[in-house]
Chains A and B, each alone.
Chain A
Amino acid sequence: GAGVSQSPSNKVTEKGKDVELRCDPISGHTALYWYRQSLGQGLEFLIYFQGNSAPDKSGLPSDRFSAERTGGSVSTLTIQRTQQEDSAVYLCASSLDTTTSGNTIYFGEGSWLTVV
C-alpha cells in the first residue's frame, strides 16, 4: 500500500479482555516496528521484526503482550487480559530493512486503545 496501515483506528475494550491490533506495512519493507505512545511515557519501543523474525522483544512490557508477523508482511500485536495501564496509542512503523543505518522509518496513524 501507499503507507503503513493500522486497524482498528480506535478500540474501547473492557478490562480483562484480549485485543488484537493489526499493521500492514509499506509494500516491500522487510522491517516492521511496534511502538507505544502514552501520556507521561512518551514513545516506547515494543518490538521489531526483520522479515518474520523478532530478534528484539526487549520492549514488551509483560508476558501479556505478544506479536507475530507472517509472510513478511502483516503483523498482529496481541494484548491479553488488558489492564487500564495498557491504554495508549499503539504505533506501527516500517522501513526497507534494519541493516542500513539511517533508513527512513515510516509510521502509521496508530491504534488508539482505551481500556475501561
Chain B
Amino acid sequence: GNSVTQMEGPVTLSEEAFLTINCTYTATGYPSLFWYVQYPGEGLQLLLKATKADDKGSNKGFEATYRKETTSFHLEKGSVQVSDSAVYFCALTQGGNNRLAFGKGNQVVVIP
C-alpha cells in the first residue's frame, strides 16, 4: 500500500538557519504529494503541494520538488524564523478516494 516516511526525531535549529525535512514515499503510479503544517494549538493547514513529477510546490518561503526518480518530496526553507516552529507532515493521495496517507511528522523548533 501507499506509505510516507519522514526522518526520525525533532529538528532544532537557530533563526535564519537552513531547514531540510526529508520525505520519501512508496506508491504505485503517480500520487499527489503534500506538506501540511500544524502550528501550536491549531489545526492542520496545507503548506504546499505538487501533483506531478518535477513540479515544485512553494509557499511562505518553503519549497519541495516532486522527484519521481528518488520517490522523494523533501521540504526546504532557506532562512527559518521563530514563527516557523510547528509540526510538519508529509502526505500523499492516490486513486479514486483522495485519501491522505501521512508520515509521522517532524517537530521543528526554531530558537531565537
Other-chain contact of B43, A45, A48, A101, A107 (Cβ < 8 Å) = A107
Q: Specify the chain B residue showing the minimal Cβ separation from A105.
A: B100
Query: Which of B7-15, B16-24, B77-85, B88-96 touches A?
Result: B88-96
| 29 A–B pairs (Cβ distance < 8 Å), ordered by A | A33-B99, A43-B89, A43-B100, A43-B102, A43-B105, A45-B100, A45-B101, A48-B98, A48-B99, A50-B97, A55-B97, A56-B97, A56-B99, A91-B44, A93-B44, A95-B98, A99-B96, A99-B98, A100-B98, A101-B32, A101-B51, A101-B94, A101-B98, A102-B49, A102-B93, A104-B46, A105-B100, A107-B43, A108-B43
- What's the minimum C-beta distance from A58 to chain B, rounded to whole angstroms? 10
Within 8 A of B (CB), among A96-116: 97-110
Residues of A within 8 A of B51 (CB): 101-102
Other-chain contact of B95, A33, A101, A103 (Cβ < 8 Å) = A101
- What's the minimum C-beta distance from A52 to chain B, rounded to whole angstroms? 15
Give the total of B residues in contact with A, Cβ under 8 Å: 25
Judged by DSSP, the binding face of A is strand
A42 at the interface (CB under 8 A from B): yes
A35–B36 CA distance with the chains assembled, in angstroms: 14
Residues of B within 8 A of A109 (CB): 42-43
Q: Specify the chain A residue showing the minimal Cβ separation from B43.
A: A109
Give the total of A residues in contact with B, Cβ under 8 Å: 27
On A, residues with C-beta under 8 Å from B are 31, 33, 35, 42-43, 45, 48, 50, 55-56, 91, 93, 95, 97-110
A67–B101 CA distance with the chains assembled, in angstroms: 20
- What's the minimum C-beta distance from A69 to chain B, rounded to whole angstroms? 15
